[in-house]
Structure 1
């Protein structure tokens, strides 16, 4: 018996009756020979971690656009916090930890630069709209490496349905869906307080009396309640009291942080950057990198441009905007004579820099 088969046997004996088994996966779009060491879900997790799309998350906005401090969350640190919370819950419920982790690590691969401001900007101008969960699925099915990562159906389902009204088909996907909310509610409060946008006393006391007045206490309350409420059940959820408090705290963030707060002061500029880039490349597809120019001939220019922009980091999008739309200093060349009478080319730099 190889290592993978041994792990699969352990899953059969140990995991909950409601857990997903890697040897019973629906499979991949393109069949592959099994790995002798890793299960199907472990391979998916590793492919996501080693992808370029995953590495780019470190320079993508979570809430604060290009923050000055070193301790604000990025899309990558958010992803890692979701994975940690989701794995804790999955382990406590005897669910498949590898599947849970793969979904969590891949759920935001399609997020745009500048966070939800970027998502909104592309949604307004892309025919058919734009949603980051659908884009995450495009990344793993088509874009990464030119052909996608060929992940299992269970991981793709969890990535697609980690947000929105559709419930993931596996309990592991359902865990990630709630862990995502637990993570961003709490770390966005933490970042908003760090940035001076909120003070603890601004938060609704009713919610904090139930969930806790400290960051770690709130996470512990939510996670513990999620585990207790979901134990030995074919559905993942919180108790009504904790869910109501969590939902009201989330709504408070929408009202006081996510919309029209100091944290969002630069979002108008961010939208402007992405929409100008989109309009330029749709009009001038020859300016696209060769990879995306070639794709435009099969999927259409607008789709190719949208995929290109969605994959950018904040700083790369700004660099492209500067390159295309911001005037650069001009070096003036003058002919001058040496003492011997020979003509030389003398460059005079713009004194303004």
Structure 2
């Protein structure tokens, strides 16, 4: 018996009856020989963590554009927080932690530079619109690995795609990502907004504090433990109505006070304009695309390829390319 087979046997014994089992995965688009020491879901975790798209998340905006200070979240730290919350929930419900971890680590691989401002800009420009969850799926299915994709399992791909939007993942593990993502971003965005002086602890509505707690730790603990208690029977994921309503009210508070706050978002109009100008530039001069993207022009089309290229940029790389295209360089003698 291989190490992988022992792990799969352990999964059969200890996981809940309704949990996903790696041995019963619907598989990959391109069949592969199984690994001797890792299950298919464990291999997917490794493929995502070792991908270029994952490494780029450390230089992509979460909420604040290039904040001064080392303690603000990036898209990378957000992803790691989602992963930890998701695994805690999966472990408590006796679900498959490896599947949960893979989907959570991959859920934002398709996010643009400059956060949701970048997503809005590309949504106006790309044929058929742009949604970061769909782009995340496109990254793992097509764009990574020199156009070969990561060839992830069906269940991981569905968890990535369905973490937002109208579709629901078939597995409970995939469904956890939607909850973990919202729990993470609402609460760490509060933390960052307080650090930035956009809001104070006293600004949080009293009824929300009464239900969820007044501190970062208390709010996350309330949301996670309530979800676990209400979902313990395996018939679906849910929260008590009171806690679910408080979380939604907290999200609405963040939209009103932070996500649409001119002080916090004052530079986003510039960011959107920069991406729009870059899009027009590369459509006009496709020879300026990097070589690996130029290779996909024939199969993917010009505008789709330009969209993929810009979506994959980090904040700093997008600024660099904007400067290269539109800011005159100082002349010097060679």
Q: How much has 1:294 moved relative to structure 2?
A: 1.4
Normalising by structure 2, report the TM-score: 0.98
Contact 1:161 1:168 in 2 (8 A): yes
Instruction: Name 2:114's counterpart in structure 1.
Output: 114
What is the CA–CA distance in structure 2 between the aligned matches of 1:168 and 1:233, rounded to whole Å? 15
Calculate the aligned-residue CA RMSD, in Å: 0.9
Q: TM-score, normalised by structure 1?
A: 0.93
- Residue 294 of structure 1 is matched in structure 2 by 295
Alignment of 1:1-353 (within 5 A): 1-145=1-145, 146-331=147-332
CA–CA distance in structure 2, aligned partners of residues 244 and 261 of structure 1:
27
SS of match in other structure, 1:105: helix
1-side partners of 2:235 and 2:27: how far apart? 22
Deviates more, 1:25-34 or 1:293-302: 293-302
Q: Which runs of 5+ in 1 are unaligned?
A: 334-346, 348-353
Alpha-carbon contact 1:197-1:261 (below 8 Å) kept: no
Question: What is the alpha-carbon distance in structure 1 between the residues aligned to residue 225 and residue 34 of structure 2?
Answer: 36
> In structure 2, what is the Cα distance between the partners aligned to 1:94 and 1:38?
19
Deviation at 1:176, TM superposition (A): 1.1
The Cα of 1:195 is off from its aligned counterpart by 0.2
Aligned length: 333
Provide the C-alpha distance between the structure 1 equivalents of 2:263 and 2:227, rounded to a whole number of angstroms.
33
- Structure 1 stretches of 4+ with a deviation exceeding 6 A read none
Question: Unaligned stretches of 5+ in structure 2?
Answer: none
Q: 1:301, CA displacement in angstroms?
A: 0.5
Tell me if the contact between 1:123 and 1:131 (Cα under 8 Å) persists in the aligned partners: yes
Partners of 2:27 and 2:193 lie apart in 1 by 42
Contact 1:86 1:179 in 2 (8 A): yes
State how far apart, in whole Å, the 2-side matches of 1:195 and 1:78 are.
17
Shift of 1:200: 1.1
Question: What corresponds to 1:351 in structure 2?
Answer: none
Alpha-carbon distance between aligned partners in 2 of 1:280 and 1:113, rounded to the nearest angstrom: 17
Counterpart Cα distance in 2 of 1:75 and 1:200: 24
The alpha-carbon deviation at position 287 of structure 1 amounts to 1.3
Give the conservation status (yes or no) of the 8 Å contact 1:190–1:215.
Answer: yes
CA positional deviation for 1:166: 1.8
In structure 2, what is the Cα distance between the partners aligned to 1:147 and 1:16? 35
Q: Secondary structure at the match of 1:103?
A: helix
Q: 1:343 maps to which residue? A: none
